[in-house]
């Protein structure tokens, strides 16, 4: 899969990540980067900027945010690209949705019909940025995924 297609979906997801009140008066700026994990003999695991993906590749998405103005907490919502399935985030504080963002919870508490949801079911992620973290002015959120 070409990086350009993935970034187009990422751009749309990031545009939708900021609450509607923020879109009218931008308070938060978001940027992102996608990396692919490669194993190099003698060097171990390395993250490299992603140019192309192959089935089974582990990718890492890093979303950077900057508080431009305002105060208080905010939420970052992210649509997981269909070409990958969610594996986990750096700190595990995310909530997930398996139904396009209608319902939210922790992955181990979500149900897809009669079974527990799996990482492959995740369609959206969201993180609550606390007022204290937001007051720092900037931060990063990272999560990993596997290319389908």
Query: What is the rounded distance in angstroms from the CA atom of residue 18 to the CA atom of residue 92?
Result: 20
Q: By residue range, what is the domain housing residue 8?
A: 3-85+126-147
Is 121 part of a structural domain of the chain?
no
Is 9 part of a structural domain of the chain?
yes
Is 102 part of a structural domain of the chain?
no
Residues 81, 14: contact at Cβ < 8 Å? no
Is 91 part of a structural domain of the chain?
no
Is 101 part of a structural domain of the chain?
no
pLDDT recorded at residue 128 = 96
Total domains in the chain come to 1
Higher-confidence position of 35 and 25:
35
Is 112 part of a structural domain of the chain?
no
Residue 17 has pLDDT above 60, yes or no: no
Is 95 part of a structural domain of the chain?
no
Taking only Cα atoms into account, the Rg of the chain, rounded to an integer number of angstroms, comes to: 16
Is 140 part of a structural domain of the chain?
yes
Q: Which two tokens stand for residue 55?
A: 């089935």
Please give the share of the chain, as a percent, with pLDDT higher than 90: 69
The stretch 41-55 carries a mean pLDDT of: 91
Residue 10 has pLDDT above 90, yes or no: no
């Amino acid at each position: 899969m070409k990086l350009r297609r993935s970034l187009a979906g990422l751009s749309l997801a990031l545009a939708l990540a900021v609450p509607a009140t923020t879109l009218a008066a931008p308070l938060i700026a978001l940027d992102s980067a996608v990396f692919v994990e490669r194993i190099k003999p003698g060097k171990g695991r390395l993250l490299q900027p992603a140019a192309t993906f192959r089935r089974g590749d582990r990718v890492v998405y890093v979303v950077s945010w900057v508080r431009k103005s305002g105060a208080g907490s905010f939420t970052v919502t992210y649509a997981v690209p269909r070409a990958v399935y969610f594996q986990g985030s750096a700190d595990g504080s995310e909530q997930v949705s398996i139904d396009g963002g209608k319902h939210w919870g922790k992955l181990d508490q979500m149900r897809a019909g009669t079974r527990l949801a799996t990482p492959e079911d995740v369609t959206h992620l969201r993180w609550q940025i606390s007022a204290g973290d937001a007051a720092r002015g900037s931060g990063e959120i990272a999560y990993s995924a596997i290319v389908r």
